[in-house]
Amino acid sequence: MSLLAVGTLAYDDVYTPFGEVKQIEAGSCTYIAMAATYFAQPVQLVSVIGGDYNDAFLADLERRGADLEGVEVIPDGKSFYWAGRYHDDMMGRDTLDTQLNVLADFDPKVPESYRNTDYVMLGNLTPSVQSRVIDQMAHRPKLIALDTMNFWMDVALDDLKEVLKRIDVLIINDEEARQLSGELSLLTAAAKIVEMGPKILIIKKGEHGALLFEEDKVFYAPALLLAKVVDPTGAGDTFAGGLVGYLAATDDLSFENLKRAVIYGSAMASFVVEDFGTRRMQNLDREQIDARVARFVELMNVSL
């Protein structure tokens, strides 16, 4: 099955205690697409870039199975740029610079050839932009997943609540779940959020794993223990890309398969943080991914 992915194609500068990188290709759409193409192809991108974007990097994405028809190029514009510095304990980070550039006026255009796609991943963007993507679909997709962040809860809560009514899977972190619901307990938070629209909720807890909720069912996937996290940027997008890519590939929305998708997403995220940007994800094969998935399953295997 094909997958439609909306998000940013960006340049990042990233500083961590382990080093720094400048002007690397990043952004939610990049991470989602690179993770998802390991499972589902084509991954149809909807994004916007300036004339400055790296053609070779785009060609590589295409070679992996990305469809770039929906990537709008503004020849005299500059691509979205973000710079951040991680703290010494890697637990937090400070944004040093954000330049929206071509993203400021982004009006997503879904090409005709994407409009019947059954699996849609809406990366973190202005909620009204996410809505405009759904508007353009020819029919209701089988599954619409959405990522967002606390910033939109602060400045565009009504728009966010509108788009939440139209999706199936919400993927957010624990802080965001608490803010969106106004509840401390993630169990109570989940119940409130599900009432807002998405029948499936995934709460990411970083190094503590991820929770999957659907109706009265809950699943807890641990995070893999890593000796060294070099760069956590993009981990959440990679998780989402692996997860939705796996669902599109298997075309099975049972709770059992959702659990597997969470593990595959977690496995992809566990790779990407081992190096800067998308580097670690560029040369994987399915055998390596499956071996890592097996480590997750082993980590949580118990019999009474």
In the complex, the residues that contact a second copy under the rule CB under 8 A are 89-90, 184-188, 205, 208-209, 211, 218-222, 225-229, 256, 259-260, 263, 293-294, 297, 299-304
Beta carbon of residue 227, minimum distance to a second copy (angstroms, whole number): 5
Helix 55-64 × helix 28-36 angle, to 10° = 30
Beta carbon of residue 153, minimum distance to a second copy (angstroms, whole number): 17
- Residue spans of beta strands (DSSP E) within 17-92: 19-26, 43-50, 66-74, 81-86
Beta carbon of residue 277, minimum distance to a second copy (angstroms, whole number): 21
Place of tokens 């849609």: 120
Nearer to a second copy, 3 or 293 (CB): 293
Nearer to a second copy, 100 or 299 (CB): 299
How far apart are alpha carbons 239 and 156 in whole angstroms?
25
Nearer to a second copy, 155 or 297 (CB): 297
Beta carbon of residue 301, minimum distance to a second copy (angstroms, whole number): 8
Instruction: Supply φ then ψ for residue 60, to 5 degrees.
Output: -65, -40
Beta carbon of residue 9, minimum distance to a second copy (angstroms, whole number): 32
What residues contact 210, with CB distance under 8 A and at least 6 apart?
Answer: 202, 203, 204, 220, 221, 223, 239, 262, 265, 266
Nearer to a second copy, 98 or 185 (CB): 185
Torsion angle of the four alpha carbons 110, 115, 118, 119, in this order, in degrees rounded to the nearest 10: 0
Nearer to a second copy, 105 or 195 (CB): 195
Residue 82, beta-bridge partner list: 12, 98
Nearest to 271 by CA among 304, 241, 301, 303: 241
Beta carbon of residue 32, minimum distance to a second copy (angstroms, whole number): 23
Nearer to a second copy, 45 or 263 (CB): 263
Instruction: Supply φ then ψ for residue 48, to 5 degrees.
Output: -140, 140
Which two structure tokens, joined as six digits, stand for 224?
């893999």
Beta carbon of residue 20, minimum distance to a second copy (angstroms, whole number): 19
Residue 136, beta-bridge partner list: none
Nearer to a second copy, 49 or 190 (CB): 190
